[in-house]
């Protein structure tokens, strides 16, 4: 934004500008006032005000960098890593995985706790879950000087950064998680979809450093999708990723849980993949068991190659629909499936131009396997963004 543009009130403008400076320093490292002013299109007077305010807040430090010769030393701004600490918690169907992160998203402590046993209706009791998360947060809080906020991520549909409208693995409908957690911890709380949290983490500390628009696909118990467009994370997908997950690939292929023949999910959902592997073996086979079998069993190896092909098509289709060259593949099972060369071959085939086509496109598809701790880190980074006022 140019400094001369119509502006909101002075205090609001300051916080927006301060956030832009902080975000840039976090994503790209230390910078001079002059460089920041040029990059963010802020006048040098405004930049000095922003720098002073951030230094007073304790978020940013300014240090002189001596230059060779007699020139005036340059003032370098950098984020103070320990200025804020936020707890992040990833909730699965059975466990709360917690981490505490500093401003740079570096993990300072980890812990985990079992969620309460399921009720007779199959759902995980919400009030007892809130108590478990509070205990996890309290435990993490003892490991750092002080906590400034909490980020919680859950698989499913989240409304208003607070209410779990559909908790896929918890059996929840319309459970307000943020309000009771805020009451118990006395801290700001943000609740988010787990893949959206990974996309937020990538926006500041990963793909977002080089790409304003990118997609995140997670492969594991289910398929998950995160979308970042022009630097903004899409908080709630219109379909929770359903349209991409069930895109048809082969009408003669295996069926997904919804009965589609040969859709993307039929090849990639862990449950579906294990069901097909079990049918092939004539006994229950886990994904790890399938990988073991694949070394000496062509049919088992084909299931993994087919999964890699489905993932390649999915990544290419997602990139084309989003019009980005960058897709991040993540999730607990992604390393297993991306190990097959069929993934890269499929993407290359999708990109092969026709004889009259002159435009060439190259996709940057990265694999970032995620442990539950990585998922929790996504929640913590979302918490940091929330505490700093980032939208």
**Binds Zn ion (CB under 5 A): choice among 7, 258, 288, 321:** 258
Cβ–Cβ under 8 Å, residues 203 and 381: no
Using rule CB under 5 A, residue 273 touches Zn ion = no
Closest to Zn ion by CB, 22 or 269? 269
Report in angstroms the alpha-carbon separations of 228 from 33, 207, 208, 327: 28, 10, 8, 10
The minimum distance between CB 311 and Zn ion, in angstroms, equals 15
β-partners of residue 288 are none
H or E stretch at 69: none
Check binding of 315 to Zn ion (CB under 5 A).
no
* Under rule CB under 5 A, residue 244 binds Zn ion: no
Q: With contacts defined by CB under 5 A, how many residues of the chain interact with Zn ion?
A: 6
| Region from 10-18, 231-239, 250-258, 328-336 binding Zn ion, contact rule CB under 5 A | 250-258
Give the whole-angstrom CA distance, residue 197 versus residue 177: 16
Instruction: Give yes or no for a contact between 303 and 290, defined as CB atoms under 8 angstroms apart.
Output: yes
Our finding on whether 265 is near Zn ion (CB under 5 A) is: yes
* Contact pick of 54, 100, 187, 263 for Zn ion (by CB under 5 A): 263
3-state helix, strand, coil in the chain (%, to 5): 45, 25, 35
Nearer to Zn ion, 89 or 223 (CB): 223
Judged by CB under 5 A, which of 33, 84, 260, 309 binds Zn ion?
260
| C-alpha span between 118 and 121 (Å, rounded) | 8
Binding segment (CB under 5 A) for Zn ion, from list 82-90, 96-104, 128-136, 252-260: 252-260
Rounded to 10 deg, the angle between the 298-322 and 342-351 helix axes is 40
Residues numbered 201-230 forming contacts with Zn ion, rule: CB under 5 A? none
Helix segments in 41-120, DSSP class H: 44-57
Q: Note whether 45 binds Zn ion by CB under 5 A.
A: no
Q: Does 243 bind Zn ion (CB under 5 A)?
A: no
For residues 243 and 361, which CB has a smaller minimum distance to Zn ion in the complex? 243
When binding is defined by CB under 5 A, the residue of 74, 246, 302, 350 that contacts Zn ion is 246
For 176, counting Cβ atoms within 10 Å of its Cβ (0-12 exposed, 13-18 middle, 19+ buried), the class is middle
Least Å distance between CB 307 and Zn ion? 14
Site of interaction with Zn ion (CB under 5 A) = 246, 256, 258, 260, 263, 265
């Amino acid at each position: 934004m140019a400094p001369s543009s119509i502006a909101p009130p002075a205090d609001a403008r300051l916080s927006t500008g301060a956030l832009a400076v902080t975000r840039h320093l976090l994503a790209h490292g230390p910078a001079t006032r002059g460089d920041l002013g040029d990059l963010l299109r802020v006048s040098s007077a405004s930049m000095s005000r922003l720098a002073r305010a951030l230094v007073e807040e304790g978020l940013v430090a300014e240090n002189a960098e001596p230059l060779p010769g007699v020139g005036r030393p340059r003032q370098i701004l950098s984020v103070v890593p320990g200025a804020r600490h936020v707890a992040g918690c990833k909730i699965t169907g059975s466990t709360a995985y917690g981490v505490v992160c500093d401003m740079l998203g570096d993990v300072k402590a980890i812990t985990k706790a079992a969620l309460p046993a399921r009720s007779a209706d199959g759902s995980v009791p919400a009030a007892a879950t809130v108590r478990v998360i509070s205990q996890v947060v309290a435990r993490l809080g003892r490991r750092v000087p002080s906590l400034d906020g909490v980020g919680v991520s859950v698989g499913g549909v989240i409304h208003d950064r607070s209410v779990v409208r559909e908790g896929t693995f918890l059996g929840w409908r319309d459970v307000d998680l943020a309000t009771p957690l805020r009451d118990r911890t006395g801290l700001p709380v943000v609740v988010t979809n787990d893949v959206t949290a990974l996309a937020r983490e990538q926006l500041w500390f990963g793909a977002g450093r080089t790409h304003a628009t990118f997609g995140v696909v997670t492969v594991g118990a289910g398929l998950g999708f995160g979308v970042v467009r022009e630097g903004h994370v899409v908080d709630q997908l219109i379909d929770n990723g359903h349209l991409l997950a069930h895109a048809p690939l082969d009408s003669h292929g295996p069926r997904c849980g919804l009965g589609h023949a040969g859709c993307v999910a039929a090849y990639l959902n862990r449950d579906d993949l294990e069901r097909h592997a079990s049918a092939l073996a004539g006994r229950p086979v886990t994904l790890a068991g399938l990988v073991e079998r694949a070394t000496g069993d062509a049919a088992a190896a084909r299931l993994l190659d087919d999964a890699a092909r489905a993932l390649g098509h999915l990544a290419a289709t997602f990139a084309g629909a989003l019009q980005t060259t960058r897709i991040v593949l993540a999730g607990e099972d992604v390393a297993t499936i991306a190990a097959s060369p069929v993934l890269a071959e499929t993407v290359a085939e999708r990109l092969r131009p026709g004889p009259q086509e002159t435009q060439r496109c190259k996709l940057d598809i990265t694999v970032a396997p995620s442990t539950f701790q990585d998922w929790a880190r996504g929640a913590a980074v979302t918490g940091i963004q929330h505490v700093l006022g980032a939208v």
